Amino acid sequence: MKASIIIPTRNRSKWITSAIQSFVEQDFPASRCEIIVVDNGSTDNTREIAEQAASLNKNNIRYIYEPEPGLLSGRHRGASEAKGDILVFVDDDIEAVNGWLSAIMAEFEDESVHMVGGTSLPMYDIDPPKWIDKYCSWKEDQLTCGSLSLLNKGNERMEIEPVFVWGLNFAIRRKTLFELGGFHPDNIPKHLQHFQGDGETGLALKVKEKGLKALYTPGAKVYHYIPRERLTVTYFENRFFYQGVCDSYTQIRKNEGIANIKIPDYQTFDQFSPNLSAYDQYKEIIYKRIHNAYVDGFIFHQESVRKSKTLLKWVLRENYFDYQLPELDSQEQQQIQELRDYIQRRATHPQWPLIMAQDMFKEAFNIIKSDDMVAALPRLDMVANLCPKMPKVHLSRALCLSALGRPQEAVRAAITELTIQPDNKQAVDILLKNQQALLEELKTVPRTTVQFVERVLKSRLNKG
């Protein structure tokens, strides 16, 4: 077997020198290995570095210029140019330990193995702040931190879920890659982020669906350089916005369309609590900001796809071997840009939760008028989470649920509305129209709620 190490890169010359050197110094036979540097439009001296490395080493190092932006184009261009049976995709900011490639290739001697990953440990620029611990999972000496692409599953080789073979250290049989349709869009420039997909995760999910074996081997160890810029709240907000986009993409493909997808809930900022230390309150604010950035990304992608048939077709494509980004028409571009600007303004507004709730309620109301209850309901659920006492929100939810044939939930929402507006006639009408569901609901609620509903109904009946 031969190996092709594929390094997509863009304007990362300060790191790629060390990466290439670590691959050149592997103990794996040079005659059975090639290194392919795929340059996604760099304006620094990446080309010079790659070509100099090729001239100084006996290894087969090739430089390829690929102007189409995004990690997808770098990966698929590299795969199409590769001569190896095993394709090893790496990031440009890692350093592989000696024996890394031998450990990977040894696992592929077993023909039942289709994917191999390994350990990725940090090279921190500075000590990470303590609040980052929330995003790292420790189990004894094992570490998982997807936000920083860190993984350590111990010193024993083992079969793992394919989603734990991460893109910075991702080996796969060439045949398997092409049979499964390759990677999905990934690491798209920010101004084109509506074209973002779920990257290697999408491919890993296809590997799992086919029941193919993926292995973790500790000898395939790399060190991942993490600069100080990645240890900031701003980086994590951007990273989670991007993850929200990725997860929206995954859901749309899973559902084969934009309908019936639950939008994650925002988290609101609580008032100052004298029982918490200042630092604990500071951390809670950070975590909520980062979580809400994830929801922003999810909503941004959902709404972008809803506004663009071209984008929906892109998300649902069978494969992306033709990785050229599609052209949106001027109206689609304008609507997506307006959406991006709107979410950015909304996220920085000092009265953000209230503004968010009001805006989403207006959106939902307009959707209800178009008789699309399926699309309106997730927005109303989010508004109810943000501002649970906002008048008419639960009534609107009740109307949607009733129209969708979910009487028990409709009754529940109508009762909630009546606790806010006891004289709301429409809410009472929903209870009266769904009497069987109401009787079932009243069997499970506290006695005080039963008495409240009885008083409301009696008052309405007395009025005529």
Helix (H, G, I), strand (E, B) or coil at 11: coil
132 CB-contact burial (10 Å; exposed 0-12 / middle 13-18 / buried 19+): middle
Is the pLDDT confidence value at 464 over 60?
Answer: no
Distances, alpha carbon 101 to alpha carbons 64, 217, 218, in Å: 22, 11, 12
Other Cβ atoms closer than 10 A to 235: 17
Query: Which sequence spans correspond to the domains of the chain?
Result: 3-230, 237-462
pLDDT at residue 6, rounded to an integer: 97
> Which range among 51-55, 63-67, 111-115, 386-390 has the greatest average pLDDT?
111-115
Is the pLDDT confidence value at 113 over 70?
Answer: yes
pLDDT digits (tens, 9 = 90+) for 252-293: 999 999 988 888 888 876 666 677 777 788 888 899 889 989
Q: How far is CA 16 from the centre of its chain?
A: 26
Summary mean pLDDT of the chain: 90
The CATH number for 3-230, chosen from 3.60.130.10, 3.90.550.10, 3.40.50.1970, 3.40.50.300, is 3.90.550.10
Nearest to 244 by CA among 185, 299, 306, 162: 299
Is the pLDDT confidence value at 104 over 70?
Answer: yes
Going by pLDDT thresholds of 50, 70 and 90, the confidence category of residue 65 is very high
- Which two tokens mark 359? 């805006």
pLDDT digits (tens, 9 = 90+) for 418-428: 999 888 889 99
Residue range 82-105: average pLDDT? 97
pLDDT digits (tens, 9 = 90+) for 315-372: 999 999 999 999 999 999 999 999 898 888 777 665 666 777 788 888 888 888 888 8
pLDDT digits (tens, 9 = 90+) for 386-401: 788 888 999 999 999 9
User: Which CATH topology does 237-462 take?
Assistant: 1.25.40
Q: Do 272 and 281 form a contact (C-beta atoms < 8 A)?
A: yes
pLDDT at residue 279, rounded to an integer: 78
pLDDT at residue 230, rounded to an integer: 94
Q: Do 127 and 57 form a contact (C-beta atoms < 8 A)?
A: no
pLDDT at residue 282, rounded to an integer: 83
pLDDT at residue 13, rounded to an integer: 85
Going by pLDDT thresholds of 50, 70 and 90, the confidence category of residue 238 is very high
